[in-house]
Amino acid sequence: MTNFAIELNGISKSFGPVQANKDIDLAVETGTIHGIVGENGAGKSTLMSILYGFYVPDEGSINVFGEPLEFNSSQKAIEAGIGMVHQHFMLGEPFSVLENIILGAEGSFLLGGAMSKARETLLQLSERYGLSVDPDAIVGTLPVGVQQRVEILKALYRGAKVLILDEPTGVLTPQEADALFDILRSLKEQGTTILLITHKLHEIMNVTDSVSVIRRGEMVGHRKTEQTSPEELAELMVGRKVLLEVDKAPAQPKDVALSVQGLNYTDERGIQRLSNVNFDVRAGEILGVAGVSGNGQAFLLEVLSGMHAPSSGRITVNGAPLAKTPDLVRHQSIGHVPEDRQHMGLVTAFPAWESGILGFQASALYCNQGAMKTGLIKEAMGDLMEKFDVRPPNPLLATAKFSGGNQQKIVLAREIDKAPDVLLVGQPTRGVDIGAIEFIHRQIIAMRDAGTAILLVSVELEEVLSLSDRVVAMFDGFCSPDRVTAETDERSLGLLMAGEFERTTSEGMAA
């Protein structure tokens, strides 16, 4: 048997005038973890989709364990021993784990025997690879990290010897990501070959044996991980040197722009999501909010942006009470970059010029007596896309056609361009590549230096510590006292994120 699990030779693929892959060669050794990195839109996912049978290449050949194969369907890829875990999971949320595992591989119309056999196989796989999952749990009730385990088990159940993971940590907390890497190492030790697509260079350095870099559809480098560095990989990805650390001068904070005192929020189901939250954000500073996802950060942003009314407490913007609806909140000079750009920040079916004015479409700038100034909007959006390095800078292109990083730039451009007094930013670089991260961080720092008060929510500890001037942590809806970021490290912040601070209700009772 050959030493290579996967060999791609001269792979090219075009979609109309866009060449996604150009003459790509790739060889992946059996039983290794091989990273594939590149900016958003570089062609990584297209290449893996060709390997998995989603797309047929225009040119080139594919060998799997030394055997030449022509894929024209995912079923053929599965039969050859290739499995894929997508960034957005392909699971039926109302179904159980077991039902999801066998979906599409039932074997016969007599499901009773198939289910019994599948349960036994699933338990064996779970024990062998350390992928503990309750077979009878309903997938929609499971945490994201456990849902990802189900996806991996689904691939292994179908006999995957090669496992492709596309941006697997994009929706995971740091703790869930660490657990995933332990699973990948276990899979490798037992002979599975893993292709890891990611833009996070610390993940590449942490878990892979070798790495390949794609830039604008072409393969530009192969490296043994131990013989490279994040700086070299970043330069290969972007085609220039990239500043991996945030460069900023000390903040010059002025008056309080956003004040939150005794904030409580109980949702429509009667669950208390925010408990006695207190903090101030001054003009010209960044207050970072750290925490494991699901501890109230999303509800905090939604209340502050007017999407939910607080149950009690006081919120003021430049001394005035916060307005009660999102459109009125905008009139108070508050910008909002939501955590979920696709569901809350954009309408992906709209062209970019429409997504680029959402929330401002009724303003006199874009509207005249009920009629939209479409020509002016398209021209202005084109200029804005150039300014914010949105690729391609085409305001007529559907928002869904842009990569995740470029969608994020569209949202940031829309909110930052209005120069708000207060900017609420949720997960600013989630799913964004290294070049775009550098750009986004520069824009946030520039806003701070121009006098904007910024509330930054991120599950990336490194991002919070790099960008923030002061930092708080959220746990179970409670907010810790603020700390000066320069006097805080990951360990002490991690303790706050675990709830190691005094938590009191608005009545002064300990929680």
- Across-strand partners of 162? 82, 193
Q: SS3 sequence, 262-317?
A: EEEEECCCCCEEEEEEEEEEECCCEEEEECCCCCCHHHHHHHHCCCCCCCEEEEEE
pTM to 2 decimal places: 0.70
Closest CA to 96 of 141, 148, 149: 141
Domain covering 4-238: architecture: 3-Layer(aba) Sandwich (3.40)
Whole-angstrom Cα distance, residue 248 to residue 285? 12
Q: Where are the domains of the chain?
A: 4-238, 243-333+420-511, 349-419
Amino acid at 293: S
Q: Give CATH for domain 243-333+420-511.
A: 3.40.50.300
Q: What pLDDT tens digit does each residue of the chain (511 aa) get?
A: 459 999 999 999 998 888 999 999 999 999 999 999 987 778 898 899 899 988 999 999 999 999 888 767 788 888 889 988 876 677 888 888 888 888 866 554 445 556 788 888 888 888 888 888 888 889 888 877 788 888 888 888 888 899 999 888 866 766 778 888 988 999 999 899 999 998 788 899 999 999 999 998 999 999 999 999 999 998 998 888 776 678 899 999 999 999 999 999 999 989 999 999 999 999 999 999 998 778 899 999 999 999 999 999 999 999 999 999 999 999 999 999 998 888 889 999 999 999 999 998 888 888 888 888 999 999 999 999 999 989 889 999 999 988 778 899 999 999 999 999 999 999 998 767 777 788 899 999 999 999 999 999 998 888 999 999 999 999 999 999 999 999 998 888 888 988 889 998 877 767 7
- Judge contact between 234 and 434, C-beta under 8 A: yes
Both tokens assigned to 299: 């509800």
Would you state the pLDDT for residue 171?
65
Q: What DSSP designation does 138 have? A: B
Per-residue DSSP letters for 84-130? EE-SS----TTSBHHHHHHTT---SS-HHHHHHHHHHHHHHHHHHHT
Domain 4-238 shares a fold with domain 243-333+420-511: yes
347: helix, strand or coil: coil
Residues counted in the chain = 511
The whole-angstrom distance between residue 318's C-alpha and the CA centroid of its chain comes to: 32
